[in-house]
Structure 1
Amino acid sequence: MPETRPQTLSRAGRPSRAEAEARIEELLESALDLFLTHGFERTSIDAIAAAVRMNKRTVYARFADKSALFLAAVQRAIARDVIPVAILTRLDSGDVEDSLVAIGRLRIEHFLQPAALRLQRILRAESIRFPQIADWHFELSTLPFMTYVAGLLQRAMDEGRIRTVDAAQAAAAFMSLVVGGQVRPLVAGRIPSPGDIDRRIRFAVDLILHGLLQH
């Protein structure tokens, strides 16, 4: 019986699948950095390929053009930006106010991470040219978060703690007041102190819940 050759090739030969995938990940990460630094228009495939020491033909073998590479890089960043629902579940103390404050704090702290801020800047800069990236971010990141908040509010309504309204609209108000209003200055580089962040979150949560209190 002939001797079986190992499946993994040496570095001197053709790269293994794992090595090829790692190179594509490196390509997408570098592309995202360059698109953020220089914008879509002023970033070239040549510059991206050079940044990762990759032949331009190799880039075009995987991505038809610069737009396809940009969309792949942003989609990857969005998928990595998602906060798992399991983490939100662990913040549910049973008290709707405490839970909402904890969830709002988590969301803001997440946006303070360099990768999340970078993604937000790209979304804001290029969503007009590529509207699908805003849709992807909403569907993958914002909507599951908002749906979970709606569930917390619905439970409080069912228990008679707050008056019954449209839970989805109440969750959207939470996202706008607690998250949206704070993200804009964060993206612009105006980072408030932890104390200011906490006060703003508590004020917004208090405002929402007092608007829903039983009369």
Structure 2
Amino acid sequence: MKKEAAKKEAVKKVVVKKETAKKRAAPARPRAGRPTREEAARRHEELLDSAIDWFLESGYDNTRVIDIADSLGMSKRTVYAYYKDKEALFIAAVDRLVERYIVPIETLQAAETDDLEETLRAVARIRIANVATPAGIKLQRILNAQSHRFPDLINRSLSTIEPTLAFLSGLFRRLEAQGKVRVTDAEAMATAFLSLVVSGPSRMIIMGGRMEQADIEARINFSVDLFLNGIRPR
């Protein structure tokens, strides 16, 4: 009996040691409570994305902060910890779209070639493709719907094209110095180019119209040719 009891006790000790080893080897579970910095950043972006969708679908007046919070499983108190009121949340959500919509000047510089016509076509393609992104469509629609209430949204919108205007005006000045184009006002020329080449397709896309790539290319080719005929030396 003593031998049997001793054997059972030995087995028990082995089991306890194995369980202890497993616990030590097992990865620590994340503690419940405050989210990590990465989780907090992700939830913040989800809040801004959801807010824009609510403002677009329900309008500014009919959108409630509590509805946005509930759709994310988030408390209203958490939202107000980020933003003092609905207007502040709206502006932040629009600013987030603006950040996503801007085409970096480095992207445009990478598209530059020794052929001005090809460079302008590439810029046009980049800008039109950018309008067609979810961020581009949402931004333009929210501007159309709410700029009367928030006039400063126009300035935020204009900031999205500043890198493109800077790239084009710089390009035109360099080519003028080489005698390849006539420049009276480089910034005005850059603005005119975007209006001529990009505005038409952009309006169609924002309104939900469908443009085949062949139609976009035809529009780009026609507009670039027309623009170049106006700036070449005579």
Q: Report the TM-score, using the length of structure 2 for normalisation.
A: 0.84
Pairwise CA RMSD: 1.6
Q: Deviations over 1:20-54 (max 9, x none)?
A: 22211111111111111111111111110111111
After superposing on structure 2, the runs of 4+ consecutive aligned residues of structure 1 that deviate more than 2 Å are 8-11
CA distance in 2, matches of 1:92, 1:73: 33
1:110 maps to which of 102, 111, 130 = 130
Q: Deviations over 1:133-161 (max 9, x none)?
A: 2212212x111111111112222211111
Q: Counterpart amino acid of 1:87? A: T
**What is the CA-CA distance between 1:11 and the residue it aligns to?**
4.5
Match of 1:172 in 2: 191
Greater relative contact order (CA < 8 Å, ≥ 6 in sequence): 1
Aligned-pair identity in percent equals 43
The answer to whether the Cα contact below 8 Å between 2:100 and 2:135 also exists between their aligned partners in 1 is: no
Q: Counterpart amino acid of 1:67? A: E
1:212 aligns with 2:228: no
1:71 aligns with 2:91: yes
For residues 87-126 of structure 1, what are the structure 2 equivalents within 5 Å?
A: 87-126=107-146
1:146 aligns with 2:168: no
The answer to whether the Cα contact below 8 Å between 1:154 and 1:167 also exists between their aligned partners in 2 is: yes
Q: Deviations over 1:65-121 (max 9, x none)?
A: 110000011101111111111110111011111100110011101111222111211
CA distance in 1, matches of 2:67, 2:157: 27
Q: Counterpart amino acid of 2:69? A: A
Q: Report the TM-score, using the length of structure 1 for normalisation.
A: 0.91
* SS of residue matched to 1:205: helix
CA distance in 2, matches of 1:24, 1:179: 33
Q: Which protein shows a greater Rg?
A: 2
Provide structure 1 residue ranges, at least 5 long, that are not aligned to the other structure. 1-7
* SS of residue matched to 1:48: helix
Q: Counterpart amino acid of 1:60? A: Y
**What is the CA-CA distance between 1:197 and the residue it aligns to?**
0.7
The answer to whether the Cα contact below 8 Å between 1:146 and 1:171 also exists between their aligned partners in 2 is: yes
**What is the CA-CA distance between 1:210 and the residue it aligns to?**
0.4
CA distance in 2, matches of 1:206, 1:20: 50
Q: Counterpart amino acid of 1:128? A: H
CA distance in 1, matches of 2:85, 2:183: 51
1:40 aligns with 2:69: no
Aligned residue pairs total 207
